């Protein structure tokens, strides 16, 4: 029997389609912006300083990152066509790109960085358009492993940051500054919860800067010299494309990280929907596709500006859940604030003069949290010994290649450069092992037919054959046939337009898979009007003695199935029905 729906988010004060007063929206947007601006600008500073870029290019990179983040945040809130989710999803520079972006700048400069970002953004557009097809390939096991390996790539030069102080500074300058930043940041994050916890990194940075000022490490000259209003055009590297050997060597790693960023965006787009409505709703994967497409558009702009790529900030979900305000108006205000700040160089320079030891300590905490995010993604769909083997083996392959402990001298120079990146080697290992498990796992059976009542006998024969071949028994075969019948009738009902007539002949593809003594039925059909999962949730709140005629199929399916998920994509609907013998 289908489990009870999740509790509604009764704490929601303003839903996405509602409009809070402007003072409330602007005030909340300012709080969001203060929390996020540090991450947006400091990630750029970490990347460009690690690559020993000029101060002018650093100023331009921060300007471009803020402007792109603002435009992308507005686009996420105010969906335009298939771009944007329609929810409050803050966009900002991504720490996942630190290692590969530093490598790009060191080997080819801003031209190579821009080329890699633009090309990888096209991959995100492709992913958004074909998300329904790739849903079984982009597994949490692969994504989580790559996220964990980001720490392996990034931490070595973050440790160098912690010891990087001007010549003549006292021997205690670096360690005291680092400890002040870490102690305050971790103290706030571990001691407090709710909104106060979100301020931990910002408070820690302030503490680190104060400590650094006592040792003469802080240089306020750039802040005094910066304009109040303007554009740092002197740092713009110009438009240029680099498709040399370094591009092809770094592209796989950059594509992997882009894939990881897209998966993170998918998770954020799913999460923000769960906290933005008062009543429970099934996840709308059209909004998820829009979020990934907007992420790709933001990265395309980042490439044109030759700055660090961006992604959605997971803190958007927690902040909306805490405040209960999910109005799109707030998202638009956040984006406008980011854009305004981009044209205030003096404000940006306040962040750019933060000493390297503070940045290193701050980034260490962020990367540590990112590592644990990877482990959480790996565990989100369960863990067995097969997945544990894939994650553990792939992770240590990445560590070995990154550290040089796994020899690659016998390989061609291109492969040496390719596999020396831990994310690439570890990610490729995870993909190969996951593909091996998928290919050697229990075989599924598939059929296609017309989406019409006359197809029921054909579907019944197909499921009888499936149950017989898998040894599921006659009782299970009957449960599968009845569950498939009710699902098909519901899909047929959803294809009818408002005037009650069928909107056109459609086909349906049915896939049956054995699953731990039961079976999973997956229906793929053209876009429908409603959502079966939403209807099941509503039916569950109605008393049995008030059943209407159109609810019989819903109630029967609710009784027969262990779980029902209806994912709506732009191009197709996917209904997954899990049936167990004791459901």
First to last CA, the chain: 5
> What is the enclosing helix (H) or strand (E) of 72?
helix 55-77
For residue 134, give the nearest of 266, 248, 250, 253 by alpha carbon.
Answer: 266
The confidence score (pLDDT) of residue 296 equals: 93
The confidence score (pLDDT) of residue 35 equals: 65
What is the CB neighbour count within 10 angstroms for residue 568?
A: 26
**Residues composing the chain:** 583
The confidence score (pLDDT) of residue 536 equals: 65
Mean pLDDT of successive 10-residue stretches along the chain, which has 583 residues: 49 83 83 74 85 87 92 93 90 82 88 91 88 72 76 75 75 86 86 69 84 79 76 77 82 81 78 80 85 93 91 76 81 92 83 79 77 75 80 89 80 67 79 81 85 91 90 88 89 63 71 85 78 62 52 79 84 87 67
> What is the enclosing helix (H) or strand (E) of 508?
strand 507-515
pTM over 0.85: no
Q: Check if the beta carbon of residue 424 is closer than 8 Å to that of residue 259.
A: no
The confidence score (pLDDT) of residue 531 equals: 66
The confidence score (pLDDT) of residue 252 equals: 83
Report pLDDT digits (tens) over 411-422.
Answer: 766 567 667 777
Report pLDDT digits (tens) over 214-259.
Answer: 887 777 777 777 778 888 877 778 777 778 888 888 888 788 778 8
- Domains along the sequence of the chain with CATH: 22-165+227-354 (no CATH), 445-579 (3.30.565.10)
Return the half-sphere exposure (C-beta side, CA atoms, 13 A cut-off) of residue 176. Answer: 14
C-alpha 138 chain-centroid distance: 12
The confidence score (pLDDT) of residue 500 equals: 47
The confidence score (pLDDT) of residue 413 equals: 64
Return the half-sphere exposure (C-beta side, CA atoms, 13 A cut-off) of residue 42. Answer: 26
Structure tokens at 368: 């540590």
The confidence score (pLDDT) of residue 543 equals: 53
The tokens 């197809």 sit on which residue? 455
For residue 509, give the nearest of 582, 458, 434, 565 by alpha carbon.
Answer: 458
């Amino acid at each position: 029997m289908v489990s009870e729906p999740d509790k509604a988010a009764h704490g929601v004060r303003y839903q996405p389609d509602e409009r809070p007063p402007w003072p409330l929206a602007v005030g909340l947007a300012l709080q969001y912006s203060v929390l996020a601006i540090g991450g947006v600008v400091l990630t750029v500073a970490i990347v460009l300083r690690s690559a020993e870029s000029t101060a002018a290019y650093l100023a331009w990179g921060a300007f471009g990152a803020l402007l792109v983040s603002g435009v992308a945040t507005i686009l996420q809130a105010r969906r335009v066509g298939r771009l944007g989710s329609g929810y409050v999803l803050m966009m900002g520079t991504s720490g996942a790109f630190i290692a590969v972006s530093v490598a790009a700048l060191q080997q080819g400069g801003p031209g190579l960085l821009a080329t890699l970002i633009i090309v990888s953004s096209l991959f995100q557009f492709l992913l958004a358009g074909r998300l329904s097809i790739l849903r079984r390939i982009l597994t949490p096991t692969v994504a989580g492993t790559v996220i964990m390996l980001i720490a392996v790539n990034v931490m070595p030069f973050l440790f160098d940051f912690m010891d990087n102080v001007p010549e003549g500074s006292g021997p205690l300058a670096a360690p005291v500054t680092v400890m002040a930043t870490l102690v305050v940041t971790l103290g706030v994050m571990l001691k407090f919860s709710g909104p106060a916890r979100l301020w931990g990194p910002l408070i820690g940075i302030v503490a680190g800067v104060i400590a650094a000022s006592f040792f003469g490490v802080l240089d306020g000259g750039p802040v005094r010299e910066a304009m109040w209003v303007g554009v740092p055009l002197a740092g713009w590297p110009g438009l240029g494309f680099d498709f040399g050997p370094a591009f092809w060597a770094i592209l796989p790693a950059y594509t992997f990280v882009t894939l990881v960023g897209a998966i993170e965006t998918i998770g954020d787009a799913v999460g923000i929907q769960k906290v933005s409505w008062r009543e429970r709703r099934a996840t709308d994967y059209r909004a998820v596709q829009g979020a990934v497409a907007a992420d790709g558009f933001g990265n395309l702009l980042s490439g044109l500006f030759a700055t660090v790529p961006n992604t959605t900030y997971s803190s958007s979900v927690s902040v909306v859940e805490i405040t209960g305000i999910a109005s799109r108006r707030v998202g638009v205000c956040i984006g406008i604030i980011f854009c305004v700040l981009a044209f205030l160089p003096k404000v940006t320079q306040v962040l750019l003069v933060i000493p390297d030891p503070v940045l290193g300590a701050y980034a260490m905490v962020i990367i540590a949290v990112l590592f644990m995010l990877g482990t959480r993604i790996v565990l989100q769909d369960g863990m067995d010994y097969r997945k544990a083997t894939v994650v553990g083996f792939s992770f240590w392959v990445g560590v070995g290649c990154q550290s040089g402990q796994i020899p690659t001298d016998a390989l061609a120079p291109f492969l040496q450069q390719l596999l020396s990146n831990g994310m690439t080697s570890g990610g490729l290992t995870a993909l190969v092992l996951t593909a091996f498990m998928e290919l050697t796992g229990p075989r599924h059976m598939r059929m296609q037919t017309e989406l019409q009542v006359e197809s029921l006998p054909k579907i019944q024969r197909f499921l009888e054959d499936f149950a017989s071949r898998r040894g599921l028994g006659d009782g299970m075969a009957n449960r599968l046939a009845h569950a498939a019948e009710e699902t098909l009738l519901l899909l047929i009902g959803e294809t009818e337009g408002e005037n009650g007539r069928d909107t056109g002949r459609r086909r349906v593809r049915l896939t049956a898979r054995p699953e731990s003594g039961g079976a999973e039925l997956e229906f793929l059909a053209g876009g429908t009007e409603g959502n079966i999962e939403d209807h099941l949730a509503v039916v569950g709140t109605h008393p049995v003695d008030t059943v209407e005629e159109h609810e019989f199929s819903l109630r029967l399916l609710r009784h027969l199935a262990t779980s029902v998920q209806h994912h709506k994509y732009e191009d197709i609907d996917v209904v997954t029905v899990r049936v167990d013998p004791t459901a």
